[in-house]
A and B are shown apart, each in its own frame.
Chain A
Amino acid sequence: RKEVEQDPGPFNVPEGATVAFNCTYSNSASQSFFWYRQDCRKEPKLLMSVYSSGNEDGRFTAQLNRASQYISLLIRDSKLSDSATYLCVVNGGNYGQNFVFGPGTRLSVLP
């Protein structure tokens, strides 16, 4: 089983739609969790950290389920500018070797 798994998509949704991505991880000792977005041919940029209690940032909501070892990202009222690849990141600590990126889920928001 891969350390971090995501549905590669693509998810093609109309503007204004709500879309949700899930991510599962295998290391039960993982300590911190993040969502990044990566535009085509650009560097990944931090979208939000994911806290145990769940957190929201505008149209974006992230949740963590430690018991089932999955993380979710919900995007409401999708904009054309949300089109990107969304990377789930799981960090088991112990310096660099446990900061594991998922393969990413591609989102296309259509007019």
Chain B
Amino acid sequence: SQTIHQWPATLVQPVGSPLSLECTVEGTSNPNLYWYRQAAGRGLQLLFYSVGIGQISSEVPQNLSASRPQDRQFILSSKKLLLSDSGFYLCAWSRGSLGEQYFGPGTRLTVT
């Protein structure tokens, strides 16, 4: 069966510090991978998606970047965090573009 991991679960970072969040998927190959952000009390906002190694598409211009160095690894980064980067960051995977997405447990980021 497939499993998706994210870490860390929670993170408190000062403004201006760097960020690296990691997501890995087990039990499948060549998944589509996604990063979402959910601000408190809000809906999910798609940040990045990837259909293969090194292929990243950005949905929203922002302070963040993503990379996919391996087939089942997806990394979200920032060089300098802003207060507005606080939120619940969720990684997801799917088989193909029409199938359902499965989410990891998320990282709750607070920028202070």
Interfacial residues, chain A to chain B (CB-CB below 8 A): 31-32, 34, 41-46, 49, 87, 91, 93-97, 99, 101-104
Nearest chain A CB to B46 CB, angstrom units: 6
A103 with B43: in contact, given A31-B98, A32-B99, A91-B98 (CB under 8 Å)? yes
Hey, which chain B residues are within 8 Å of A43, CB to CB?
A: 90, 103-106
| B108, CB-defined interface residue at 8 Å | yes
A46 touches B100 (CB 8 A): yes
B102 touches A93 (CB 8 A): no
When C-beta atoms are compared, the residue in chain B nearest to A85 turns out to be B43
CA distance A34 to B99 in the complex (A): 9
Nearest chain B CB to A4 CB, angstrom units: 9
B100 touches A94 (CB 8 A): no
Q: Which of B34, B46, B108 has the most CB of A within 10 A?
A: B46
Besides the known contacts A96-B32, A99-B34, 4 further A-B residue pairs in the complex with CB atoms under 8 A apart: A32-B100, A91-B98, A96-B57, A104-B43
Interfacial residues, chain B to chain A (CB-CB below 8 A): 32, 34, 42-44, 46, 49, 51, 57, 59, 88, 90, 94, 97-106, 108
Hey, which chain B residues are within 8 Å of A34, CB to CB?
A: 100
B43 touches A94 (CB 8 A): no
Nearest chain B CB to A101 CB, angstrom units: 4
Nearest chain A CB to B92 CB, angstrom units: 8
Nearest chain B CB to A49 CB, angstrom units: 6
Nearest chain A CB to B69 CB, angstrom units: 19
Partner of B51, one of A42, A91, A95: A95
Q: Show 25 A/B contacts (Cβ-Cβ < 8 Å), sorted by A.
A: A31-B98, A34-B100, A41-B88, A43-B103, A44-B44, A44-B90, A45-B103, A46-B100, A46-B101, A87-B43, A87-B44, A91-B98, A95-B49, A95-B57, A95-B97, A96-B46, A96-B49, A96-B97, A97-B49, A99-B34, A99-B101, A101-B43, A102-B43, A103-B43, A104-B43
